[in-house]
Amino acid sequence: IHTRAQSILLDLGIHTEPKGLAVGNRWVAGHGPTFSAHSPIDGVELASLTVASPDQVSQATSAAREAFVSWRVVPAPVRGELVRRIGDRLRHHKSDLAELVSWETGKITQESLGEVQEMIDVCDFAVGLSRQLYGRTIASERPLHRLTEQWHPLGPVGVISAFNFPVAVWAWNTMIALVCGDPVVWKPSEKGTLCAIACHSIAAGVAAEMPEAHQGLLSLVIGDAETGKAIADSPDLPLVSATGSVPMGRDVAVRVARRLGRSLLELGGNNGMIVAPSADLELATRSILFAAVGTCGQRCTSLRRLYVHDSIADPMAEQLKKLYARLPIGDPTTDGTLVGPLIDERAILAMQDALAAAREQGGTIFGGDQITNQVPAGGFYVRPAIVEIAADAPIVQQETFAPILYLMRYSDLDDAIAMHNGVPQGLASAILTNDVREAELFCSPAGSDCGIANVNIGTSGAEIGGAFGGEKETGGGRESGSDSWKAYMRRATNTVNYSPELPLAQGIQFDL
Ligand code: UN1
């Protein structure tokens, strides 16, 4: 078992006996099967864990229901104080947590630090938000009437998170939910459990120090797809926020809809970028590189489709291939590495399948081979691939969670926008141009159909202050900043009559 990962957990006060369920800071083993977590860096076992049974999920959701009764009436700024303290604790453990993220997901240190910083940032955001959960006052059509709306806590929130952002996505949801007055039951990916145990322990430890916080305010259920289904089906959870694949999200959506609950979905992206003739090419190649090969192509926001104007496509392709050929690939915890491993063997097989399909569909492939030299044994390392292919090749429609960049050409911007929008997903997009008309068109209703549309930066690496999410098969949810908090609350419209009369709306007369 990995000693460094263990000692980080021990430093956080976490003992590494098999874990399955935590209600607050009370841990028990899961009643389901035992499984092991392995590092994608070298395949070493990180921990042995247990799956929480559906009964144990109910235990967590009932505790959350109980916690809700008291938490919903704690003043929001006091709820913010809990989040402020969690943020402080996360700051204190930033480098340890980042190291865990690297060991468990294979992210390079810089990106792991960035991910922990996203948690810290969203804590700060949520603390401010705790004093800004504003409702409107509306002009009533009746004399001496007040028409207003209030935002009330919604109830316990189920959070299902993915392996690729094992800590940030939890924080985006949990910190906002907490200030909104909602308890959280978290089901992390099986491939992000160690990070989950660490973050949950920190947050639940802080909650235990606050008299206002009930034990059931924060729960963690470790498990598999069955555990996720139990969350989606639970009538105790009026909102389920799920991040991951389209098939997972579709299943969650159907289950939650069946009980008329709310779901907030952040699913697949198949993100595109248009590079126009006026683009700054140096800036373009740098933004392409970070977006396409960062996190080894395993971000929801990773760049997968590149539409380059005919006039610059040849030099651009050549320049990219030169850079791809000398990418530092290997141990992500070593200084200077830019590309770490894929998450597991399934990911490398999916990448090889996609490349084989691309070849069959007429694509020309650069890179994409597995790397075994000068990388840790036991991990799945690849050279990111560039595939020159026709825009209508079927493979381009598909999100493969690996570093494959499809390079296509265009001559007319309207056509490029149509090709760009012509996929089932709608998360992140970008245009690289110095032409203000092109940039504005791309951001307009006739432009990109995605939840994120950028100009002169890549598709990935969003700040937490904006609303994060996308359209079409991406699921339509928005998390993190802006007014995403509204999904975690319920709106009550209040009409208050302070006159001695009873005028009816719409001028209706109803007198006996
Ligand atoms: C994800 O891949 O699920 O915008 C989240 C980004 C990060 C978050 C990605 N801030 O790339």
Q: Is the dihedral of CA 326, 268, 176, 187 positive or negative?
A: negative
Closest by Cα among 387, 441, 453 to 412: 441
Instruction: Indicate whether residue 164 lines ligand 1 (CB < 6 A).
Output: yes
Coil, helix or strand at residue 11: helix
Tokens 């063997």, residue located: 345
Whole-number Å distance between alpha carbons of 508 and 502: 11
User: Ligand 1: which of 170, 468, 479, 480 to mutate, most ligand atoms within 8 Å of CB?
Assistant: 468
**392 within 8 A of 410, measured Cβ to Cβ:** no
pLDDT tens digits for 199-245?
999 999 999 999 999 999 999 999 999 999 999 999 999 999 999 99
Q: Which residue's CA is minimally distant from atom 1 of ligand 1?
A: 300
Whole-number Å distance between alpha carbons of 240 and 217: 16
Mean pLDDT of 99-124: 98
13, pLDDT greater than 90? no
pLDDT value of position 1: 58
pLDDT band of 82, cuts 50, 70, 90: very high
Catalytic residues: 266, 300
Please, what's the b/e burial string for 259-281 (b: 16 or more CB within 10 A of its CB; e: otherwise)? Answer: eebbbbbbbbbbbbbbbbeebee
379, pLDDT greater than 70? yes
14, pLDDT greater than 90? no
Q: Residue 17 C-alpha to ligand 1 middle, in angstroms?
A: 31
User: Ligand 1: which of 111, 457, 460, 464 to mutate, most ligand atoms within 8 Å of CB?
Assistant: 460
pLDDT value of position 15: 79
Whole-number Å distance between alpha carbons of 104 and 67: 31
182, pLDDT greater than 90? yes
Between 12 and 85, the higher pLDDT residue: 85
29, pLDDT greater than 80? yes
Q: Residue 168 C-alpha to ligand 1 middle, in angstroms?
A: 8
Q: What percent of the chain has pLDDT over 90?
A: 96
Instruction: Indicate whether residue 460 lines ligand 1 (CB < 6 A).
Output: yes
18, pLDDT greater than 80? no
Which two tokens mark 506? 């719409």
**397 within 8 A of 365, measured Cβ to Cβ:** no
Instruction: Indicate whether residue 302 lines ligand 1 (CB < 6 A).
Output: no
Q: Residue 221 C-alpha to ligand 1 middle, in angstroms?
A: 23
70, pLDDT greater than 80? yes
Which ipTM was obtained for this model? 0.97
141, pLDDT greater than 70? yes
Mean pLDDT of 275-297: 98
**433 within 8 A of 279, measured Cβ to Cβ:** yes
pLDDT value of position 404: 98
Task: Give residue 323's Cα distance to chain centre.
Answer: 28
The DSSP letter of residue 432 is E
pLDDT tens digits for 244-282?
999 999 999 999 999 999 999 999 999 999 999 999 999
pLDDT value of position 19: 85
Instruction: Indicate whether residue 243 lines ligand 1 (CB < 6 A).
Output: yes
Task: Pick the atom of ligand 1 nearest to 302's CA.
Answer: 11
β-strand pairing of 145-153 with 364-366: unpaired
Whole-number Å distance between alpha carbons of 158 and 179: 15
pLDDT tens digits for 435-467?
999 999 999 999 999 999 999 999 999 999 999
